[in-house]
Amino acid sequence: MSLGFKIYSYFNGNLVHQDSLGNKFYQDKKNPNKRWIIYADGLGPESIPTNYHNWLHNTSDVLDKNIHELDELVNNIKGRTQKHITTHKPNDTKGYNSWQPK
């Protein structure tokens, strides 16, 4: 996040909640239907639980802080492996064997 957006959030928004991942949920002081999130370092939209997502998109007015769902999401995010980190798999076919239909 840019420094300007953090300053804007400080002066024009109310901090509604900060989850255990470090994501901060804001609501506009003048227009309560305007809501946004500042993600924690290294996280993105996949780090938002469903109930937080519903609140963020004005589907629900209640920000339910369900700890069990958030813990499950944290374990899911930590268990992911990025494709560029996986090890190289050698070619087991020992040559070019093209697949042909029967």
- Who wins on pLDDT, 22 or 93? 22
Say what the pLDDT of residue 41 is.
82
Residue whose C-alpha is closest to residue 23's, from 81, 65, 58: 65
The reported pLDDT for the residue numbered 21 is: 80
Alpha-carbon distance of 85 to 81, in angstroms, equals 7
Has residue 79 got a pLDDT over 80? no
87, two tokens: 């090890």
Average pLDDT, the chain: 76
CA 94 and chain centroid, separation: 42
CA neighbours closer than 13 Å in the CB half-sphere of residue 102: 0
- Domain segments of the chain: what residues? 3-75
CB of 17 within 8 A of CB of 65?
yes
Using pLDDT thresholds of 50, 70 and 90, give the confidence band for residue 31.
very high
**pLDDT value of residue 5:** 85
